Amino acid sequence: MKTGKVWLVGAGPGDIGLLTVKATEIIKEADVIVYDALIGDSLFSLFPKSVECISVGKRSGNHTMPQEQIDKVLLEEALKGKKVVRLKGGDPFLFGRGGEELELLAENDVPYEVVPGITSPIAVPAYNGIPVTHRDFTSSLHIITGHKRKGSAEDIDYGALVRTEGTLVFLMGIARLPFICGGLLEAGMDPDMPAAVLQQGTTAGQKRVVATVGTLEEEVKRQGVETPAIIIVGKVCSLADAFAWYEKLPLAGSRVIVTRPRGMISGMASRLRKLGAEVLELPSIETVAREDQSGLEAALDEMASYSWIVFTSPTGVRVFFDVLKKTGRDVRSLAGVKIAAIGTGTKKELSDRNIIVDFVPSVYDGETLGRELSKLVGSEDRILIPRAALGNHELVAALEAAGAEITDVPTYDTIDVSQDLVDEKKLFEEDKIDCAVFTSASTVRGFVSRNPGLDFSLVRAACIGKQTKHAAEACGMNAYMSEEATMDSLAQLVISMKGR
């Protein structure tokens, strides 16, 4: 049997935007992903649909799977001929036991690669306005683990650290903060030396407590911090307030769930991330083209008899043109036919195919599309509507009332999507989600379907359109609606919801 391969991949400090290009490519091609608890939840959106996921749940002092067993899992899966990704928070070789995990692979001649990751001792201070080196303050950086092996004696040479006069970053040391500060003070460090604790850096949970070595323990007790967090000591900590930038972003500190269909989610997620949000891409539905496209194929055979084609979604456009190509046709088949699109997203999908849209309604929903388009058509018109099987009935009713002949063809189905990598119910119950973004009533229904038992009054819903908002309210959600049915307007709604 052919031996597989293992990639030891650094997942970075939490922000999905800090994952390297190489890491992203390798994750998307994996057969098996063995991951730690410390990787950011947003990274799950990159996992292939068919990948086997193995959580080893490693956190400081709490290992779901012993290290020796993790090593064996990597070996066993590779020997099955699989592409195995060992996904580790931060960088795999910085206190990540990456070297230990390679030993068994090397002994058994299993091929492997190492993909370095952006590490928290540099990235987390940067997100908090703290440059770890600065010519006016220090020219050296020292990274120390504050976690000692169980039963082992303290082995940090505090005197040597103080003499470096460099920036000190302690990882996994929050539980030992009193001993670290005490050790530095006993070794002669000035009690007024700036110091900070940085919580959950590069994520929505980011928080910093800035004080001095002499007062940091007391200040942390007063303000409170959650793990994971790092301790940083040095004059550069005094720059935090002046150089802070992350919290100035409109959605800094916000964690948002985006529920758009798989394959359509990245545009909205990208908008929100640029505004500072931590985005969990958790599609609640998936659109699947129907195997039987005989209805659309029959309509294409009679294309010359149609005066309008009405597209109600970008997916409908994609499926239509896929079938057009499959049947040996191109855009010349649409000569003389006018095109209507329900909104800007659908219009863009058509524009990308060099199709100029003749009509877009003033409000981007099926009811308005039907009402306004009905004023432009009559009994002499034949209209093709290739769309989802569960389409808007008001659209057809309005056009038929105008006397038009309607061919309403279901070209794709909308399927509820389940996922078990992120416990959404727990996140809402612990008030760790600021809002969920819904772009259709079907995304609301899919979300409800996969979260049985959730008190939906805990969900603050950012919605496009009246139908979506009504669906969310019907489930008991606190629903808000964007002024326009566009992605930009929806992003502005999410901003306006912050702090409400």
Farthest-apart Cα atoms in the chain, separation: 92
pLDDT at 266 exceeding the cut of 80? no
Question: Residue 88 — very low, low, confident or very high, per pLDDT cuts 50/70/90?
Answer: very high
For residue range 368-396, what is the model confidence (pLDDT) as tens digits? 999 999 999 999 999 999 998 877 788 99
H-helix or E-strand spanning residue 280 = strand 278-281
Same-domain status, 221 and 263: no
More confident residue, 207 or 147: 207
Which of these ranges, 145-149, 295-299, 443-447, has the smallest mean pLDDT? 145-149
For residue range 302-314, what is the model confidence (pLDDT) as tens digits? 999 999 999 999 9
65: Cα within 13 Å, side-chain hemisphere = 16
Strands of the 141-145 sheet, one edge to the other: 141-145, 167-171, 229-233, 194-199, 207-212
Same-domain status, 51 and 137: no
Same-domain status, 105 and 22: yes
Q: Which of 118, 144, 172 is the last residue of a domain?
A: 118
Positions marked active-site: 36, 58
pLDDT at 119 exceeding the cut of 90? yes
pLDDT at 173 exceeding the cut of 60? yes
pLDDT at 151 exceeding the cut of 60? no
User: What is the mean predicted confidence (pLDDT) over 116-126?
Assistant: 97
What is the length of the chain?
500
Please provide the average confidence, as pLDDT, over all residues in the chain.
Answer: 92
Domain count for the chain: 4
Query: How far does CA 82 lie from the centroid of its chain?
Result: 26
Q: Which of 415, 449, 466 is the last residue of a domain?
A: 415
CATH of the domain at 271: 3.40.50.10090
Same-domain status, 176 and 231: yes
CATH of the domain at 193: 3.30.950.10
pLDDT at 63 exceeding the cut of 60? no
Cα torsion 488, 492, 493, 494 to 10°: value is 100
Q: What are phi and psi of 288, to 5 degrees?
A: -125, 120
H-helix or E-strand spanning residue 273 = helix 266-274
pLDDT at 317 exceeding the cut of 90? yes
pLDDT at 175 exceeding the cut of 60? yes
- Per the listing, tokens 């539905």 go with 285
Same-domain status, 221 and 262: no
Same-domain status, 199 and 240: yes
Same-domain status, 280 and 421: yes
d(CA 216, CA 231): 10
β pairing state of 405-416 and 285-289: antiparallel
Provide, rounded to the nearest whole percent, the portion of the chain with pLDDT above 70. 96
CATH of the domain at 111: 3.40.1010.10
Q: How far apart are the first and last CA of the chain?
A: 59
Count CB atoms within 10 A of the CB of residue 127. Answer: 23
Q: Residue 275 sits in which domain range?
A: 255-284+417-497
Q: Which residues contact 238 (CB under 8 A, 6 or more apart)?
A: 137, 194
pLDDT at 233 exceeding the cut of 70? yes
CA-based nearest residue to 366, from 260, 446, 468, 475: 468
For residue range 399-456, what is the model confidence (pLDDT) as tens digits? 999 999 999 999 999 888 888 889 999 999 999 999 999 988 889 999 999 999 999 9
279: Cα within 13 Å, side-chain hemisphere = 26
pLDDT at 390: 79
Same-domain status, 214 and 263: no
pLDDT at 60 exceeding the cut of 70? no
pLDDT at 1: 61
Count CB atoms within 10 A of the CB of residue 51. Answer: 18
User: What is the mean predicted confidence (pLDDT) over 97-101?
Assistant: 88
Same-domain status, 166 and 196: yes
Count CB atoms within 10 A of the CB of residue 347. Answer: 22
Same-domain status, 143 and 82: no
Tokens linked to 174: 């929050």
The answer to whether 488 and 267 have CB atoms below 8 angstroms apart is no
pLDDT at 264: 66
Question: Residue 260 — very low, low, confident or very high, per pLDDT cuts 50/70/90?
Answer: confident
pLDDT at 58: 60
The answer to whether 159 and 187 have CB atoms below 8 angstroms apart is yes
401: buried, middle or exposed (CB in 10 Å: 19+, 13-18, 0-12)?
exposed
Same-domain status, 135 and 177: yes
Q: What are phi and psi of 232, to 5 degrees?
A: -130, 135
The answer to whether 236 and 132 have CB atoms below 8 angstroms apart is yes
Q: Which of 382, 415, 448 is the last residue of a domain?
A: 415
Question: Residue 181 — very low, low, confident or very high, per pLDDT cuts 50/70/90?
Answer: very high
CA-based nearest residue to 335, from 355, 315, 312: 355
pLDDT at 153: 59
Does the pTM surpass 0.95? The reply is: no
Same-domain status, 331 and 311: yes
Angle at 170 between CA 168 and CA 171, to 5 degrees: 145
User: What is the mean predicted confidence (pLDDT) over 286-302?
Assistant: 94
More confident residue, 276 or 421: 276
User: What is the mean predicted confidence (pLDDT) over 148-169?
Assistant: 83
Question: Residue 21 — very low, low, confident or very high, per pLDDT cuts 50/70/90?
Answer: very high
Provide, rounded to the nearest whole percent, the portion of the chain with pLDDT above 90. 79
